[in-house]
Amino acid sequence: MNEDTNQVPNTGANQEDNKNTETKKDFATPNIPAQLLKPYDPTEVEPRVQKQERESGFYNPDVCIKEGITKADAPVYSIILPPPNVTGTLHMGHALGFTTQDIIIRYKRMKGFRTLWIPGTDHAAIATQSMVEKNIQKTEGKSRHDLGREELLKRVGVFAQQSRDTIVSQLQTLGASIDWSREAFTLDEERNFAVRTVFKKMYDDGLIYKKNRVINWDPKGQTTISDDELVYEDRKAKFYTFKYNKDFPIAISTTRPETKLGDVAVAVNPEDARYKEFIGKEFSLDFCGAPITIKIVGDHEALMDFGTGAVGITPAHSMTDYQIAQRHNLPMIQVIDEKARMMVGGPEIIGKKVVEAREIVVEWLKANDLLISEEEIDQRISTAERTGGIIEPLPKLQWFVAVNKPFKLAHSGIKGIEAGAEVTLKEIMQKAVSGGQIEMLPDHFLKTYFNWIDNLNDWCISRQIWYGHRIPVWYKGAEVYCGIEAPTDTDSVGADDEAGESTDKWIQDEDTLDTWFSSGLWSFSTMGWPTKASDPQSDFAIYHPTDLLVTGHDIIFFWVARMILMTGYALGTIPFHKVLLTGMVRDMKGRKFSKTLGNGIDPIEIAHKFGMDAGRMSLIFGTAPGTDSKIDENKIKGYKHFANKIWNVTRFILTATEGLYETAHSGVGEDGTKINFTDADLALIEKRNEVFKSISTNIDNLKIHIAAEDLYNYTWKEFADIILEDSKEIFADVDNLEGGAIAKKKSRAKFLLETLGLIIKTLHPFMPHVTQEIWSLLPAELKTRELLMTEKWPTF
RNA sequence: GGGCGAUUAGCUCAGUUGGUAGAGCAACUCAUUUACACUGAGAAGGUCAGGGGUUCGAGUCCCUUAUCGCCCACCA
């Protein structure tokens, strides 16, 4: 530990500063620390304080216990950091969440809790791989297949590492008092073991299954994605109405004529008088060079008053049609491949991209006089969240998690679920929250959460990308093996090897898991589960479930729900007691921060310009949980002024109480008599204590934006503007005029010093750097420890 | 189509269980080397989106309308 940082180095530079400020002779007294004579300079102070805090080891609760800062049997408080994606750098949106967590963590630590905050990063599978692929394509003109699985993974690994380093330094710049000794990564060996363990358990319980069905295919990313990874875009589209051929009795409509080469049926409403007579009939015909057989089926899904009232059914390329086809036992004919090219049809159409094929089919319809009408409509198309590719529904053999399948939950700490009872994953997600064990703030997001669960379908978890947790399943001919460890006699073929080679060795499934599968385990995979789960001294035994999750409301489905699912399933418990949802941070025009707009603000930039303390305050101040906020530099500037204000308040108090503070703080005057507070000061104390009591209460209730405001107002408007101004008169009073003058001064000096200490302590979670710096300059009598973060929180 | 949120000072937003409308920024008047110009004092600025209801009392609770924003959904 570097104790020197609290001392004022007696360098030439400082002496020079003293000379420069000599005009202010009133303050150039030997007892006033030299750096106080200058305005507060966050760029010099903040990195130094961060280093000092970090090197003290007190971010780690084990060290706090060892050094006697925290009692071993103290109540526990734990938070896991929502791991940022290793796709780039943090912006002010992250900073809001992380600052919120740091405030709570510092508060709890000072209150004596055994406090743990675990950091980490997320490998973000598709997002990261596609970013690296794009870079390689741009700089080297190579695809991932040119590089091969091993080489690509190496490149992605390097990128992820750089990204992680940036994120770590950003978190440190933020002043996050997080325990770096416990840093985790969603794709490291320990987390991989947890993933394999849970996968195997789910597989054995029949909750993970492999099935051929229509999934969301991203032709750009060359992978499947889950329903939640779809992003909808509004576009104009042509809506064509036509007949398959001249003899076909019913006209249908579509925006995608090229898919009609894969049609197997036309669905009409069984009540529809126009078409009733045709139900059950079959027509074989040639459509654009592809022989197709269309069966007319009756299905209530077909709405009589929409379009022609008849729906062409393309089971292989539409989710809805797939479901209708299932009901009527219809075949599924794939006509579009993974590159979104036509697989069937005449020579003019086969091999063409869907968009070109669409034009060709329309031309063909026109040429054969089959097109009845063509109108422009608004349409929502699905695109892939990470690559922007237009989703092509395709039939594929994929892995799924069954959310509606009952299984026996061996252990249960979830209210409303008995141990050993039959439940579904959906029920776990519902009961963990509806039973009140998990609280959400603001609570109106509960409706969003439940609504999502009600409409939830089985979760497609396999991805055809290489960066991620490989599915722990091996094949040997027709045999399938799922295990935590690879079977012996495994052939370690890479993905590039041509499949289909018959071998007598086990070959692992090529696919990787959805990144949210591993994120879902984060609350316990970061704590030594499963290896050390049974050890009562393990983090898992001590700190799980965690107390609080602070995250953006945009990932309630992706992450919050998946954590509840995974924790409920694997442990029969909840991952956290409370969820605090933060809003989005936007620019002054209300736009989201984005790379393409170039409006993103890097927290490091803020630290350079205004100081991170100011940045932290500006994020918290006036921002209610769950509501979006706007931020601009003007606002941040205001809190830079605030930091400087406290700095000057400190200078004033130390100067004004010069010679008084020793006696004032000891509570005994020079003559040995006790210093009593004057009635006026007693009244100030009462009022002050009330303010600080309510600040604590507000932090306890996670209303940190209100606590920050109260603290700001008291410090500036009450303490500085009124009390300090009033004190000037008291201190200016000439001693010998009346006997009470000296007693009044001592009383006030004691009050000012105590209150300053109180402000600095209470403000510390919000503005850790400036408060630590001031703390180091306060007279020793005021403090019990050098590091403010380990001081006791003031209680009344 | 369903759900959620927002609407408060010129701008950006707070407003705990219902009890006299708040802050920052901007603008206005004054003070001028003061702990601090990264300043202080003062004044100004609001039918709390509109309408209805409950209540002794509503920015806050209920109903309704409007506008904006977000999320979800298989109208081909």
Q: Which of A386, A397, A396, A465 is nearest to A143 (CA)?
A: A465
Distances (CA, A) of A712 to A292, A495, A700: 74, 59, 18
pLDDT confidence of residue A35: 81
CA distance A618 to A199: 43
Tokens, residue A382: 């699905």
CA distance A634 to A638: 7
pLDDT confidence of residue A19: 35
**Separation of A441 CA and B14 C1' (Å):** 17
**Separation of A689 CA and B41 C1' (Å):** 27
Q: State the residue for tokens 């706090």.
A: A64
Looking at the C1' of nucleotide B13, which residue has the nearest alpha carbon? A622
> Beta-strand (E) ranges in A274-334?
282-287, 290-298, 310-313
Q: What is the DSSP letter of A296?
A: E
Q: Which nucleotide is nearest to A650 (CA to C1')?
A: B35
Q: Which of A32, A28, A9 is nearest to A661 (CA)?
A: A32
Strands A585-586 and A120-121: unpaired
Which residues of chain A register pLDDT less than 50?
1-29, 494-497
Looking at the C1' of nucleotide B75, which residue has the nearest alpha carbon? A306
Chain B: bases < 7 Å from a protein Cβ: 2-6, 12-16, 22-25, 35-36, 38-41, 71-76
**Separation of A450 CA and B73 C1' (Å):** 15
Q: How many of the other CB atoms lie within 10 Å of CB of A380? A: 9
Looking at the C1' of nucleotide B33, which residue has the nearest alpha carbon? A24
Cβ partners under 8 Å of residue A594, min gap 6: A600
Q: Which nucleotide is nearest to A442 (CA to C1')?
A: B5
Nearest 10 degrees: CA dihedral of A521, A522, A528, A532? Answer: -30
**Separation of A444 CA and B55 C1' (Å):** 26
**Separation of A36 CA and B57 C1' (Å):** 52
Angle at CA of residue A525, ends A519 and A531, nearest 5°: 150
Q: Which of A579, A581, A585, A580 is nearest to A619 (CA)?
A: A585
Q: Which nucleotide is nearest to A655 (CA to C1')?
A: B35
Sign of the CA dihedral running A148, A153, A154, A155: positive
Q: State the residue for tokens 């363990």.
A: A197
